[in-house]
């Protein structure tokens, strides 16, 4: 793994565990998150992340487990923050993307695992604070993209679907949003 990618994963994972996930727990009264990064079985953690997009497991109060996809990015503070889920749609090198893997797991009929929920958080900087968190069912996120309701964002080597939380809500998709210590739904 490239060192810049590893560094990005380090700060984003730290902010997710220490700031974003506690905001999620308040809303859902959920249990702790079993984080995949830093686990003794590195191969299992890597395969879960690369193949299914699972960054952690929510330990539910009823004794179950639910896969969680987590992303933390930096952005300007509210009201200018990006407040969207971003999903990689294509890569210049032709490698499989988050979108194609999730879509195949959901619609492929093969029983493949995928994260039940997708959580995206925005922080002021790599040191924090987290100023907004959005949560949705991964199935809803993929359906929103399949319906063509997303915006396209091009970067130097990839195309992303930007799924703005307000647009998802306006189109009938359930999205829960938290801002700092204030929990609001749009």
* Lookup: tokens for 114: 């995928």
- Phi, psi dihedrals of residue 63, rounded to the nearest 5°: 90, 5
Do the Cβ atoms of 88 and 141 come closer than 8 Å? no
Report pLDDT for 37: 76
Instruction: Assess whether pLDDT exceeds 60 at residue 14.
Output: yes
Report pLDDT for 126: 92
Q: What is the pLDDT of residues 120-168, one digit of tens each?
A: 999 989 999 998 999 999 999 999 999 999 999 999 899 999 999 999 9
The Cα angle at residue 55 between residues 54 and 59, in degrees rounded to 5: 85
Q: What is the pLDDT of residues 23-71, one digit of tens each?
A: 888 877 778 999 887 778 889 988 998 999 999 999 988 899 999 999 9
CB atoms under 10 Å from CB of 37, counted, come to: 18
Q: Report percent pLDDT > 90 for the chain.
A: 68
Instruction: Assess whether pLDDT exceeds 60 at residue 7.
Output: no
What is the SS3 assignment for 185? Answer: coil
Q: What is the pLDDT of residues 82-92, one digit of tens each?
A: 899 999 999 99
Structural domain boundaries in the chain: 3-184
Report pLDDT for 2: 44
C-alpha distances out from residue 106 to 37, 110, 140, 143, Å: 24, 9, 10, 10
């Amino acid at each position: 793994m490239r060192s810049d990618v590893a560094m990005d994963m380090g700060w984003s994972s730290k902010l997710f565990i220490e700031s974003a996930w506690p905001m999620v727990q308040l809303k859902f009264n959920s249990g702790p998150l079993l984080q995949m990064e830093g686990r003794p079985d590195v191969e299992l953690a890597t395969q879960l992340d690369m193949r299914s997009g699972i960054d952690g497991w929510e330990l539910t109060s009823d004794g179950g487990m639910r896969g969680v996809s987590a992303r933390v990015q930096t952005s300007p503070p509210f009201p200018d923050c990006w407040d969207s889920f971003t999903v990689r749609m294509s890569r210049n090198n032709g490698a499989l993307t988050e979108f194609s893997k999730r879509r195949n797991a959901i619609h492929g009929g093969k029983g493949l695992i995928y994260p039940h929920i997708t959580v995206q958080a925005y922080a002021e900087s790599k040191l924090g604070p987290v100023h907004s968190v959005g949560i949705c069912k991964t199935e809803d996120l993929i359906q929103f993209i399949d319906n063509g309701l997303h915006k396209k964002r091009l970067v130097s080597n990839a195309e992303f679907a930007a799924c703005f939380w307000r647009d998802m809500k306006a189109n009938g998709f359930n999205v829960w949003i938290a801002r700092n210590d204030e929990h609001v739904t749009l």
